[in-house]
């Protein structure tokens, strides 16, 4: 479904992504793991068109995305729940979710999609008229994910969904990610909590200073000695 071929992205003179190549097949959860500053979020931002790659190819179902503006990429079925959530704090929960569907050319099925989001995140339905900025961290994460789903994407990009959450909420968020995937959603997951990410993913890539140094089935990466020492904290 999604393919990156030899993608190079820069911030000014800083070479952030150095020839990143990866694939995400339909129906998979694929995770990108790596330390802070490895280029994980930059990879998602480059797919979304927020950072324009200097060279390389990004294909969604064979269609090149790398020269398209972000709104057109979103219109072609790429939605992101960004790092830090970035919800609209002065808008209500409902208004935030409506914004998720803003770029959709076809607005039919809006009520069904809203019902689906509320079935995944019942807490959002309870807080439908509450301002986004007054929600807890976990609720804001649910809202960011729900907003992305309202775009009815072909692929969902999740950037650090567990950041700043309690262990109990982390478990809940990852359970919801699995449920979304079981419904047929393809997911590319960036996550600092490598153990949790590899526990739910089909495959994984290890990113280090802008380069992919390892890729394998998630179960095999969990057993890899370097991954265990460097990213799972297991000696």
For 111, half-sphere exposure in the C-beta direction (CA atoms, 13 angstrom radius) is: 0
Mind listing the pLDDT tens digit of every residue in the chain (235 residues)? 999 999 999 999 999 999 999 999 999 999 999 998 899 999 999 999 999 999 999 999 999 999 999 999 998 999 999 888 889 999 999 999 999 987 776 667 888 999 999 999 999 999 999 999 999 998 999 999 999 999 999 999 999 999 888 888 889 999 999 999 999 999 999 998 999 999 999 999 999 999 999 999 999 999 999 999 998 877 6
Q: Are the CB atoms for 9 and 51 separated by under 8 Å? A: yes
| Domains of the chain by residue range | 1-77+153-235, 86-152
The mean of the pLDDT values for the chain is 93
CA distances (Å), origin 234, targets 38, 56, 66, 73: 20, 35, 38, 39
> Which CATH number applies to 1-77+153-235?
3.40.50.300
């Amino acid at each position: 479904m999604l393919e990156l071929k030899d993608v190079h992205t820069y911030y000014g003179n800083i070479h952030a992504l150095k020839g990143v190549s990866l694939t995400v097949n339909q129906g998979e959860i694929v995770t990108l793991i790596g330390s802070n500053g490895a280029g994980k979020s930059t990879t998602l931002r480059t797919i979304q068109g927020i950072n324009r790659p200097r060279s390389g190819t990004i294909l969604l179902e064979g269609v090149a995305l790398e020269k398209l503006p972000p709104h057109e990429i979103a219109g072609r079925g790429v939605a992101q729940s960004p790092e830090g959530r970035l919800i609209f704090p002065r808008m209500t929960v409902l208004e935030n979710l409506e914004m998720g569907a803003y770029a959709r050319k076809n607005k039919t099925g809006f009520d069904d999609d809203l019902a689906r989001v509320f079935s995944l995140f019942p807490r959002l339905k309870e807080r439908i008229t509450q301002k986004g900025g007054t929600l807890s961290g976990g609720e804001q994460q649910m809202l960011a994910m729900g907003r992305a789903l309202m775009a009815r994407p072909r692929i969902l990009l999740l950037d650090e969904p567990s950041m700043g959450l309690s262990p109990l909420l982390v478990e809940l968020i990852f359970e919801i990610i699995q449920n979304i995937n079981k419904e047929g959603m393809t997911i590319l997951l960036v996550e600092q909590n490598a153990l949790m990410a590899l526990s739910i993913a089909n495959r994984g890539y290890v990113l280090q200073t802008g380069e992919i140094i390892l890729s394998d089935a998630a179960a095999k990466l969990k057993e890899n000695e370097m991954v265990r020492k460097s990213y799972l904290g297991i000696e």
